[in-house]
Every structure is written in structure tokens, then in C-alpha cells.
Amino acid sequence: MTRRLRLLSLVVILVSMLLAGDNTTVTYPEHGKIISLRTVKRVYRRPPDPTYHGVHHVDTVVCRIETANRIYELKGPAAGTSIGNEVQFRIKKKRAYVHVETGERQYEIIEVAMKPGS
């Protein structure tokens, strides 16, 4: 009897975990175009690999994205960004999450300005 009760409780727990899974889909309500880029080089003295004894360089970009009524200045990874690209992104706190084919990239929001005439 206790064996059946344990098995039944295990099945109930597994089913509840499956049903309680995160079913929310991520949406990217902001749409815009990259209007300018500048590369910022960060130099880390302590590289991530302790066996490497050189200086570790990481390139980041600061990009300006123009939407319908705002201009965002974002700082983040340089991969896959070029002037004229259309981007979709979402904003959460002081971060912008840009949609890419493999998921999303995280950028720091440096400045938000209203477009002239908005």
C-alpha cells in the first residue's frame, strides 16, 4: 500500500511540475533601426583563463537605435551589429534585450531621448 501511495504521489508531483512550467513567450515590443555605432575597447588585466598571462581585450559597441518616437543609446556585444540593421528589442529595468536568431543579447541602456518633433 505504501509503495502505491509513494508512486501516486510521485506521479502527482511530476504532473504538477509539468503543468506549472513557464509557458510565457517573450515579446519584443520595441522596433527600430541602428543609426550609428562606435566601438569601445575594454581591457581586462585578469583574463578569464588563469593559464593565459597576457592582456585580455574585449570589444563592445555603443549603438544608437531610432524607434518611432525615441532614440536609445545602448552598450553591449559587438557581434552582428551594423548600421541600418532593423532590430526588435524589449526593455527591462536598465537593460535592453535585442532579439537575435539564437535568442537575445543583453545591452546596457546608456541614454534614452525623445526624437525631435515627438
What is the tens place of the pLDDT at every residue in 30-76?
999 999 998 887 766 565 666 766 666 677 889 999 999 999 999 98
Q: Is the pTM of this model over 0.85?
A: no
Q: Average pLDDT of the chain?
A: 80
pLDDT-wise least confident of 20-24, 26-30, 76-80, 95-99: 20-24
Contact 60, 97 (CB under 8 A): no
Comparing CA positions, the residue from 75, 70, 84, 78 lying closest to residue 117 is 70
Distances (CA, A) of 80 to 60, 100, 107, 110: 11, 9, 13, 20
Count of CB atoms situated within 10 Å of the CB of 63:
25
